[in-house]
Each structure stands twice: as C-alpha cells, then as structure tokens.
Structure 1
Amino acid sequence: MTQKRKLIYFITTLTLISILLLTNTVEANSTLNLTTTKAIYNLGEKITITGNLTIDGTPVTDAIITIQILNPRNETIALRSALTGTNPSTEYVPIEVIDFYPCDINGKPTYSFKRGSNAGFKIRVKNNAAATYSIVILIYIQFANDVPFTIFPIYSGTIEPNREISAFQWPVPIPSDAPLGTTKAYANVIDKYPSKGGRAYALEKNTTFQITSSSTSQGTSTIEQTNEDGNFNVIISTNPYGGMLGKYTIHATSLYFPYFLNARQTFQVILIGDITGDAIVEIEDVAEVSAAYGSMPPSNPTCDLNKDGVVDIEDVAMVCYDYGKYGTLP
C-alpha cells in the first residue's frame, strides 16, 4: 500500500469514527431534571430539592449533581454535590478529599462548640490526575434544623498533578442563638459555581459536630450517599425568625461524558399568616382575620388564607400557627 493510499485510508477511518460518535451524541436524549416538591413554601418550612439525570429516558445511577442555591438577593446560601446512587463514578472527579474535620485554633479535631464561640476547619485534598487544575474548595455549613448557616472558600488556586493541598480556616463564629444539636459541614471542590457553568471536581465529603452549651461529642467524616433509584435530593429550610422572603434560584450541573448538563429551577418563600404585609405575624394580623371571620365571600380577601371562599377557623389557625414569625425583605 502506497503512502498516499495509507493516508486516504487513515483519514477515511477517522471520518467514520467521528460520524459515529456524533451520531450517538445527537441521537441520545440526555436530561438533567430538577424540581422542588412545591412552588411556594411558607417561611420556616422544609424545602426538598429533587431530580435525576436520564439518558434516553433511563435514570443514571452513578452521576454527581452539583447544586447551588441563591437567595432573592442573588447570594449563594448553599452548595452541595448530590449523588444519584450509592456507587458514584469517579471517572470525572480528578480531586480526592482525603481529610475534612472541624478543629480548634491549633488545628486539633474538635467536635463540640458552644454557642457564641469559634470553630475551625481543616481539609486536605489530592489531585490524582496528570493535569493541573484551577479549583475552589468550598465549605458549606447547615444547622441542625436544616437552615443554611454559612458558606465560604477555604482555598482558591491551582493544584498540580499528584500533589496534595492542605487548608485551614479560623475563626468561624458560631452565633449565640444558633440551633443546638448536630450540625453538618460539607466540603466540595469545584472549578466555578454552577450558575457560571461550573461543576464538582471531587466527591462531596461531610463532617458533623455539635453546637451545645457544655457537652462534648464525637463526629464523623463521610462521603454522603443518596438514593439507589437514580434520584437525588437535597433538603434545606428557611429561618422562621428573620429568613428571607422572595424568589430563590437553584442551579444544577453534571458532567456525564460526553454530556455536560445544566438545569435551573426557582421557588418562592412567603409568610402565609402575614395579612398586613409588613413581613411579621403579630396581633394586627390576628385582628384582621378576626374581623373578617365568618364572611363568605370574604370581606377581606387577604384573610382567606386557604382560598376556599370563606374566612373560618382554618384561616384563624394559619395565622396563629405563624404568630411571632418574621421575615426579611430582599
């Protein structure tokens, strides 16, 4: 075979392979589904974010979904990397989180912090790939009542092939009114935020610690797992005493070669019992619903909280349930 014929054969083979790959990419229908259990939540209510990644209608059970939640001020309040099964693929996550734990000012593992004190965090990651990556290591902390506490970068920069990076953050002030109980901290390695087209470069690792007055306890560091049926879910809540009212936005991304998928979803947080519209449920709201009690159609439509055409005991109960709650406007 002459050199010319060999070249033609080589080019033809490459062309056929490219066509086959392109055909498979076009024909496959890949979708990242993202939803919330409701479109509108009451202040203080738990919010469940769920979804899946499907290819040709079949849920993928080894995908990693990176989820970013922004409040009505467009501030990131949470970032998680959720799994769609118990055996996640590590093919597209070149970074490994080796150690992650809460600590004292000297870096010693500590799993109990008093209200009003300071906490610290240490993390060690390794680049198992042969390439250099630009990464951001984010720590997200969620209180025992599922309300987001804080999120911060503990490292931002590059990591060279087969190298380790250690990072330490001190102090992280614990509020004096922080919920008591088991608090979770999540470590994620990303290239950039999902809202900017970023994704996870490592499996999420979490650790637990106690917020308490005096006792001590042990915590754990684990890789977080989710459902085995191809779905993922993330749960947060809003603070019934000062949580932000308005529209929240969720961004989700996933790399599942050859697909890079993204999705966006929104939900609304309102204060149902706030009849007067001043972002607090107090005696004025009770007075308003009491004045309209028994009217059908409602003499004050805003008092018909369950929208059944009559102001009755159910509407009064809804105001009483929310009594004392107050929200923050964007």
Structure 2
Amino acid sequence: MKTHMILATVIYAITLAFGVSICNVSSFTISTAQLQVADSTLLTVVTNNPQYILRQNVTIMGDVLIDGAPASNILVSIEVHDSQPQPLKQTLFYRTVPVGEPYEEWCLEITNISILDQNWNFIDTIKIGNTVYFAVTIYNPRYYKVEPIIVTISIFDGNNIPIRAIPVYEGGIEPKTSLTAYQLITIPKWAKPGKAYVYCNIYNRIPSQGGIPYIPEKSAEFYLSLINQGLFGQLPLPMRTCSSSSDNGTYKLTFRLSSAPEPGIYMAYATGRFSPLMGITNNTTFEVLDAAAPPQASFIFTPIEPYPNQTVTFDGSSSTAEGYGDVIIRYEWDFGDGSPRVVKSGNVTHPPDPTVAHKFMSSGQYIVTLNVTDSEGYWSTTQKPIKVKQTNPKAAFTWHPTSPLLNRTVIFNATSSQPGWSIPKGDFASIVNYVWNFGDGNITIVTTPIITHVYTTPGNFTVSLTVIDSENQQDTISYIVQVQNKTSPPYDINGDGVVNIIDVAIVAAAFGSYPGAPNWNPIADITGPAGVPDGRVDIIDVALVAAHFGEYIQ
C-alpha cells in the first residue's frame, strides 16, 4: 500500500509540475484493473439536507484530501439518479467540477456543441415542447486510439433544473479523428423560457460505475422560447470550460428540483480524478418527498397586439401542476371585455385542451385572467394585459434627396405606410388614396405610394401626407423639406456638386426603364432627343453623364 501511495503522489506531482498527461503513450485504454486508488486520498460526498420537496435547491458537496491536506487541480465528476431499477432508472445529470485549475495535455477535445431541428437546420432557440437534436463533436489529437469513452450531455433550464441527461456515444475514438454524436431530446412544457445550458462530459465509465473524466467539462448556452424556434444569434454556439468555484480541497454543485420530481431515494455519486490512472469514488443518498402544492398558472398569446375582431390564441400549456402525478384538470379564462368566461375541464386521464381562441371587438387594453385547478383541488391565477390596436392606417414617408435643389426632381416614398383594419371583415383595409400636400400650393391625390415633385422656389416647405383606407379611415403625417437656393445641371444626378461614379451608377441601375418599370428612377431620366426628359432612361442619358464625367459644379 505504501508503494501505491508513493506512486500516486509521484504521478500527481509530475502532472502538476509539467502539465504532461500519462496519456502520452503509444496506446491508451483505461480498464477497471488499471485504475489505482491510493490510501492517501480521501473524497467525501454529502448533501446540504437529507430531504427535499419540489423546486428546492439541492447542493452536493464534499472534501478532497491527499495525505490529509486539501487537494487542488483535480476533477470531480458527479452523477445523480433515482433508485428505480433498470430500465426505469432516471438520471438527472452528469457533471464535472474542477477543484483548483486542473491542467495537462488532455487526451481528447470537445470541439463543438450544436442544436439542430428535425430538418437538420442549426438553431440556437428551441420552442418549449419541441423535439430537437443535440450534437457533440469530439476530437482525438493523439497518435493512438482512446477507449473506452462515454460521451454524455446534461441539459438544464434557466432555473438550474435538470431537463434530461443521457450518454450519446459509447465506444472508442481513433487517432487524429473526430466523431459527432446526436440525440433527440424533447423540451418539457414546464421548462423556463430564456437562457438554458447543455453540459458535455467524456468519461471512461459513468461516475456511478466508478468512472473518471478524461477532460474538463464543456458547456454551451442556448435559449428556450414559448413562441419561437430558429437561429436568432450566431453560430457556432459559444462554449466554455467550467471554472472552479470552490477552495482547494472542496467541491460543490447546486441544482434545483423540478415542479414534479418523482418521490423516493436518490443516489449521488462523486468521483475524483487525480490523474488519468488514479481516481477515487464515493456516494450518498437524499430523499425527495411528495408535497402538496398549488399549481402555477401561466399563459402566452399570439398575436401580441391584435386588431379588433382578429382571432387571438391563448395557450396555458406552460402552467404546471406542481406535484408528482398531479394534472391540471380545469382552465378558466376571463378576457376582461365583458364576454362570458370560457371553461375547459377534463380529468387525470383526459386533461383539457389548454388553448382557447378569442376575438376582442373594440380597441383598447384588457386584462386577461387564467385560473387553473389541479387534480388535488388546488388552484391559482395569473393575469396579463393585452393591447388591441387602433384600426386607422398609419401614414409614413421618406424623400430623396433629403436637401433638394431648385428645379430638381424629389422622390417621395410612402411605401412604409401601414394599412388600416376592417372590423366587419376582420381583415386589413388597404390604403386606397395618398393625398400629398407639398406646401407650395400643390395638392395631389394618387393611388400609389411613390410620387415625384419639383420645387421652383427655395425655402422650408411643410409636406403632409394623408392616407385613406378602404374603410374611409385616415391618418396624416407631416415633415419639413428644406429646398436649397441653388441649382445644378441635370447630369449631376445626385446634386452633390461633382459628376462621378455615383451618377453613373444611378443611370446604370435605371437603364432601359420607363415609368412603371421595376427599376424606374425619374432622376435618371435627365434628357431625350429634344433635350428634355422623355420618360425613358437610355443611351442618351448615359452619354450626357459620360460627357461631363469628372466635372465639378461651381
């Protein structure tokens, strides 16, 4: 035993001093017989309480000693599962926490953690209730095969509640190769929207079987949503290595129980990795009690800001029954607009539909209330405001150039205006008239959103646009347009005082066009056979710009 203790101490010292892994050999296989446990090492594992109920925090912690002194620069792996026999056993998570700052030439690398939808599109946001792929890519940088390996993932929501833990690959990995493992996982309805986390570990065996980690844990951050799924950020998902949050000689990891944890005894295993060939394991238990608690009511709705007489879908499926085996058996909706309440009832075996549709018939703000009742008779309520939009259209426009010159064409564009809403039809009311008041005595009514105008005198002009929809609803907006007291020749198309590549580009983009064509730009129609604009952008316009190319306008 003394020999084992000396050997372990030497291995540990070499690893710390030189950062050299014992993996640097011609081949590397960890078997049960190879692992050494020195008499000089001690690992304890306890929980902060012996018993817990739903949604409570559980802390697993312990001491790690070598020769009676606090150990540092080691890895401690933790596995928690219930005490059900296989195949009913449920693992809550596999995690690895560092003590100090472990470093060596690790035998393996985790190079990527990804999430894909079922059409194999990469995503960073999962809609709660959906099933997606979690993928992990690992790489063996060595010149030898590493085996056995077990790659695990553990998923937590933003409340630090374990969602799912599972080995995604078991076997070996050849030298200088990568492999990617996939696993379909469903996000439960009780998961918290917002940030969530996936943790990846590589062991020679899982911790409950005395296994030790090959490398430090890697994690990636993603998002859970009640409404959306897709890619809303950047790829790849940013990964990080778990940093130590404990003093030398101690470790600690905290997680939270879900809203419906299965009652019973749970096993917590901890394995300390002192070197690739030396580890020590220990375990403890804690109990989860079945506690009576009221449900938690929660709902979402779409669209977020509806119009009157537009269908709004309310979804209460994010409500939780708060207890193992409990089920919500009644949803009662009060929409706050004087309409009758809507009640959907069911039972444990046939729970009710948590969704309902409703139409608000007037604009304004309403308070929607949801009351849920569970199978034990407990209930709770929640409320949310909903704003029902006004029905009139919204006028908006831009103009170019923003500081026009005398006798030059100005383009006014109202395509950003929004249509109104028809309450009787329950649909959009399209804009039928655009009424332009250019502030110089000219008032023009058109049915299309783009119009041109030429100012013949300088000054500040208040330009007003009134849009009128098919329900005769209207809206007006005004801006001041400052017309400069100077002119420029037509071949200085953008009026910036120089004929350059910008003017050429404007003519080229509109070449061959005429009013109504997709690329028509009236400021590019600068001349014609008679020396005045002729309603076409052709070679005559191009030639005029080319003839004056490079000129500066005084």
| TM-score, with structure 2 as normaliser | 0.43
1:58-97 alignment, distance < 5 Å: 58-73=69-84, 74-85=89-100, 87-90=101-104, 93-97=106-110
Deviation, structure 1 residue 264: 0.6
Give the deviation of 1:214 after TM superposition: 3.4
Q: Which residue of 2 aligns with 1:288?
A: none
2:41 is aligned, of 19, 26, 30, to: 30
SS at match of 2:192: coil
2:256 counterpart (220, 234, 237): 237
CA deviation digits over 1:238-265, x for unaligned, max 9?
223x211111111111221464211111
1:42 matched residue in structure 2: 53
Alignment of 1:152-191 (within 5 A): 152-169=166-183, 171-191=184-204
Q: CA deviation at 1:41?
A: 1.6
**Partner SS, residue 261 of structure 2:** strand
Q: Is the 8 A contact 1:53 1:63 kept in 2?
A: no
What displacement does 1:67 show? Answer: 0.9
Contact 2:61/2:252 (CA < 8 Å) preserved in 1? yes
The 2-side partners of 1:20 and 1:250 are apart by 27
2:38 and 2:265 map into 1 onto residues whose CA distance is: 36
Kindly indicate whether structure 1 or structure 2 has the higher relative contact order, using CA contacts under 8 Å at least 6 residues apart. 1
Residues 201-240 of structure 1: matches in 2 within 5 Å? 201-214=214-227, 217-218=232-233, 220-230=238-248, 231-240=250-259
Change (3 A) 1:210 1:22: closer
Deviation string 1:60-109 (CA, Å, 9 cap, x unpaired) is 22111111101132432211111112x22335x42111111223345544
Q: Is the 8 A contact 2:272 2:279 kept in 1?
A: yes
Offset of 1:52 from its aligned partner? 3.3
Distance 2:4 2:255 in 1: 45
Structure 1 residues 176 and 138, CA, compared in 2 at 3 Å: closer, same or farther?
A: same
SS at match of 1:195: helix
State the alpha-carbon separation in 2 of the partners of residues 224 and 182 from structure 1.
Answer: 17
Q: Between the two proteins, what is the percent identity of the paired residues?
A: 23
Aligned residue identity for 1:188 = N
**In the aligned structure 1, how far is the partner of 2:219 from the partner of 2:154?**
9
CA distance in 2, matches of 1:158, 1:228: 32
Give the conservation status (yes or no) of the 8 Å contact 1:159–1:165: yes
* CA contact 2:212–2:279 (8 Å) conserved in 1: no
Query: Who is 2:153 aligned against?
Result: 139
Partner Cα separation in structure 1 for residue 7 and residue 189 of structure 2: 58
1:55 to 49, 66, 71: 66
Conservation of the 8 A alpha-carbon contact between 1:52 and 1:84: no
Q: Which residue of 2 aligns with 1:195?
A: 208
* Cα distance in 1 for residues equivalent to 2:279 and 2:288: 30
What displacement does 1:118 show? 2.6
The alpha-carbon distance between structure 1 residues 89 and 51, as it changes in their structure 2 partners (threshold 3 A), is farther
Q: Secondary structure at the match of 1:244?
A: coil
Aligned CA distance change for structure 1 residues 23 and 42 (closer, same or farther; 3 Å): closer
Q: CA deviation at 1:21?
A: 3.6
Report whether the alignment pairs 1:262 with 2:281.
Answer: yes
The equivalences for 1:110-121 within 5 A come to: 110-121=123-134
Q: Please report how far the alpha carbon of residue 58 of structure 1 lies from its aligned counterpart in structure 2 after TM superposition.
A: 2.2
- Pair 1:124 & 2:142 matched: no
Instruction: Summarize the Cα distance change of 1:119–1:60 in structure 2 as closer, same or farther, 3 Å threshold.
Output: same
What is the CA distance between 1:152 and its match in structure 2?
2.1
SS in 1 for 2:109: strand
Specify the code of the residue in structure 1 equivalent to 2:284: Q
Structure with bigger helix share is 1
* Separation of aligned partners in 2, 1:168 and 1:279: 30
User: How far, CA to CA, are the matches of 1:176 and 1:280 in structure 2?
Assistant: 15
SS of the residue aligned with 1:243?
coil
CA contact (8 A) 2:163 2:188 kept: no
How far residue 125 of structure 1 moved from its aligned partner, in angstroms, is 0.8
CA displacement at 1:147 relative to structure 2: 2.0
Mapped to 1, the partners of 2:162 and 2:286 lie a distance apart of: 16
Q: Which residue of 1 aligns with 2:115?
A: 102
Query: Alpha carbon RMSD of aligned pairs, Å?
Result: 3.3
Distance 1:20 1:180 in 2: 50
Tell me the TM-score normalised to structure 1 length: 0.69
Residues in 1 aligned to 2:69 and 2:121: alpha-carbon distance in whole angstroms: 46
**Structure 1: which 5+ residue stretches go unaligned?**
1-16, 282-322, 326-330
Residues 235, 64 of structure 1: alpha-carbon distance in 2 compared, 3 angstrom cutoff: same
Distance (Å, rounded) in 2 between the aligned partners of 1:177 and 1:18: 54
Alpha carbons 1:280, 1:324 under 8 Å: kept: no
Return the alpha-carbon distance in structure 1 between the equivalents of residues 8 and 79 of structure 2.
Answer: 32
Paired residue type of 1:34: V
Count the aligned residue pairs. Answer: 263
Name stretches of at least 5 consecutive residues in structure 2 with no aligned partner.
Answer: 11-36, 294-322, 327-376, 380-554
Give the AA of the match of 1:81: T
Query: What is residue 31 of structure 2 aligned with on the other side?
Result: none
Distance 2:172 2:238 in 1: 28
CA distance in structure 2 between the partners assigned to 1:64 and 1:162 by the alignment: 25
